[in-house]
Amino acid sequence: MSDAIHVYLQSEPAAEKWGKKASLTPVEQGYQIHFDASQALRSIQKAARQLDTLGIEQVELSGDGWTLDYQWAFYLGFTSAKKLNGVSWQGDDAATLQQLERCYSWSRQLTNQTPEQLSPEVLAQEAIDFLTPLAPDAISHRVIRGEELASEGWVGIHGVGRGSERPPVMLVLDYNPTGKADAPVEAVLVGKGITFDSGGYSIKPSESMSYMKCDMGGAATVAGALGLAILQGLTQRVQLVLCCAENLISGHAYKLGDILTYKNGTTVEILNSDAEGRLVLADGLLYATETGAPLIIDAATLTGAAMVALGNDYNALFSLDTELQQRALGYAEQVKEPTWPLPLAPWHQQQCPSPYADTANSRAMKGGGTGGASNAAGFLSRFVRPDGKGWLHFDLASAFNSSNSALWAAGATGRGIRVIAEVLRQETSKR
């Protein structure tokens, strides 16, 4: 990176001539970032964002003070949908940062692809192609397509995806580094892979539909997290389940008033075809529960309600297992990935009633009504162990930005990868 701009850290405020709040000032070989120690990560990320807007392509982090977290905050601000590299890492943390960059750049690039490029089958294949080279002797997979889903009882993925000419798929990828075919599955990651979400017959307005290529962000996040955990030395058997479909309108699309009967006998009336994410995740959670894995983590760009509650700064975390949830929040703090708990209790299962089925998939009102994120989590809790032990649900409110902000370029952020990888590593290492 001989042509790279050097960037230094400076804890002292900028000289008055640059303005009282200047966070970025020029020096002989590049720029220095004046960061506020009380909110260092945000101020460094904001300054990096400014450097990107100047059109700078390559930087070298120089001088003292560049901790792993500071370097990573810079990367997140400096990179964009058009530029997912360009940072030269510094010090002993370089190898770890390269691992993070590899997984985040893959996940973000995938999420930013156009809906035409990324069909359900392509999404599944991209995950296979990313993960298999990381541990070629330890990874196998199965892809269940189209009508095979219906014949095997995966009614949620099939029902949501049948309106598209491009078939829905369920990817089951098995990472088994033990070499033992009968090794227990210690964890299952489940990701929502809606490669485009029109809303179906509950059609979205254009301003909401325009960025619905991001609705497979949960699948990209859990696949990226598994990749990161593998690179960091994961030694336990873990499976990945991606629930992939396009939610489109056609003569074959599922309709309001339809009832789906899941493999566990739960009947679900469709009151909102735009509440499709929970329908496909239900299949993935049922599969995960069937494995007997003591840890199940799902991730999804599931509800606008989580974004209303938390903005774009935090991902929401739900669980009926309060001890596990508290540990997960601790892991999130360790890796500096903002995560916030939202309410979930057993009675949330009853918040979407139906006179015709065990439950509806939503309530027949805008956004699913009040408490929408908790109600969606309550719906999902029907498809894991009755007490919810060992289950975490991430509603990825901060996984994607539809426009540029002071912290982020427009597009996927990758937020969620580090914390899920950390939960995976820490919890499975206890067994």
Residues classed as catalytic? 204, 278
Residue corresponding to tokens 């500096």: 336
Cβ atoms of residues 97 and 75 within 8 Å = yes
User: How far is residue 50's CA from residue 19's CA, in Å, rounded to a whole number?
Assistant: 16
SS (H, E, C) the chain: CCCCEEEEEECCCCCHHHCCCCCEEEECCEEEEECCHHHHHHHHHHHHHHHHHCCCCCEEECCCCCCHHHHHHHHHHHCECCECCCEECCHHHHHHHHHHHHHHHHHHHHHHCCCCCCCHHHHHHHHHHHHHHHCCCCEEEEEEEHHHHHHCCCHHHHHHHCCCCCCCEEEEEEECCCCCCCCCCCEEEEEEEEEEECCCCCCCCHHHHCCHHHHHHHHHHHHHHHHHHHHCCCCCCEEEEEEEEEECCCCCCCCCCCEEECCCCCEEECCCCCCCHHHHHHHHHHHHHHCCCCEEEEEECCCHHHHHHHCCCCEEEECCCHHHHHHHHHHHHHCCCCEEECCCCHHHHHCCCCCCCCEECCCCCHHHCCCHHHHHHHHHHHHCCCCCCCEEEEECCCCEECCCCCCCCCEECCCCHHHHHHHHHHHHCCC
